[in-house]
């Protein structure tokens, strides 16, 4: 499977009044030219809360086709970066990335990324979008995108190809983890058994789902 990086986005402006407990860097805009990608993600991007960043969530990728679907439903433009994503991607359903799969972005040598965990919509996202019941609607749709860690830093630019280098045998996708309560427990156990370097939040989500399945 392959796709195309159509936009690389970084924080445009800090917002302090979007929620009561501090600042947010969700306001992202596309960057032009080559953009440096380091262990923490896009150079110059900012995350003000640990749950929204760190090396396990260095890059947030979202599917442009899904953004266009939302634009039609909401009756407003959804340009790249609207959902706080760093990479806007076309040609591959990013929520269906297998946890642990690796992407090569750009040419030789390119940037190598590894899918870690689905995006969990929060109240900051709700306030930023300004849409009624936004978290509930976004959750129900299920196309939440995926976070990735940086295995090989480098530079990328809009228009770069994205190729899947490797896909773990467990086959569990970010979508399945997001919908963990409705995912076959045996598949989730396989993820825990076979997965390497799993995001701690992902392990917690899966364990909660497995405990609920036993209840």
Provide the pLDDT for residue 71: 98
Q: Cα separation of 29 and 43, whole Å?
A: 13
**Is 200 inside a domain boundary?**
no
Higher pLDDT, 151 or 202: 151
Q: For the segment 36-93, what is each residue's pLDDT rounded down to a tens digit?
A: 999 999 988 766 555 666 789 999 999 999 999 999 999 999 999 999 999 999 999 9
For the chain, the average pLDDT equals 89
**Is 177 inside a domain boundary?**
no
**Is 98 inside a domain boundary?**
yes
**Is 120 inside a domain boundary?**
yes
In this structure, what CATH number is given to the domain that contains residue 18? 2.40.33.20
**Is 203 inside a domain boundary?**
no
DSSP collapsed to 3 states, the chain: CEEEEEEEEEECCCEEEEECCEEECCCEEECCCCEEEECCEECCCCCCCHHHCCHHHCEEEEEHHHHHHHHHHHCCCCCCCCCCCCEEEECCCHHHCECCCEEEECCCCCEEEEEEEECCCCHHHHHHHCCCCHHHHHHHHCCCCEEEEEEECEEECCCCEEEEEECCCCCCEHHHHHCHHHCCHHHHHHHHHHCCCCCHHHHHHHHHHHHHHHC
**Is 196 inside a domain boundary?**
no
Range among 92-101, 117-126, 178-187, 195-204 with highest mean pLDDT value: 92-101
pTM above 0.85, yes or no: yes
Q: Tokens 């989730």 map to which residue? A: 188
Mean pLDDT of 12-41: 80
Report the share of the chain in percent with pLDDT over 70. Answer: 92
**Is 184 inside a domain boundary?**
no
- Please give the residue range of the domain that contains residue 77: 2-168
**Is 206 inside a domain boundary?**
no
Number of domains in the chain: 1
Residue 103's closest CA among 149, 66, 58, 143?
149
Q: For the segment 79-108, what is each residue's pLDDT rounded down to a tens digit?
A: 999 999 999 999 999 999 999 999 999 988
């Amino acid at each position: 499977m392959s796709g195309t990086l159509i936009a690389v986005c970084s924080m445009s402006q800090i917002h302090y009044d979007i929620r009561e407990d501090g600042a947010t860097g969700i306001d992202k805009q596309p960057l032009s030219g080559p953009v440096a990608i380091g262990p923490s993600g896009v150079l110059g991007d900012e995350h003000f809360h640990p749950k929204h960043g760190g090396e396990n969530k260095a890059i947030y990728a979202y599917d442009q086709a899904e953004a266009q679907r939302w634009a039609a439903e909401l009756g407003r433009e959804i340009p790249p970066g609207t959902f706080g994503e760093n990479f806007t991607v076309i040609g591959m359903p990013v929520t269906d990335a297998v946890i642990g799969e690796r992407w090569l972005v750009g040419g030789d040598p390119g940037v190598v990324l590894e899918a870690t965990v689905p995006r969990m919509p929060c109240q900051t996202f709700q306030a930023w979008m300004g849409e009624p019941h936004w978290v509930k609607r976004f959750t129900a749709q299920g196309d939440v995108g995926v976070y990735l860690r940086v295995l090989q830093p480098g530079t990328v630019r809009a228009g770069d190809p994205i190729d899947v280098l490797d896909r773990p045998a467990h086959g569990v996708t970010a979508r399945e983890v997001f919908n963990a309560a409705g995912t076959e427990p045996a598949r989730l156990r396989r993820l825990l058994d076979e997965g390497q370097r799993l995001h701690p939040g992902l392990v917690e989500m899966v364990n909660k789902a497995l405990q609920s399945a036993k209840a």
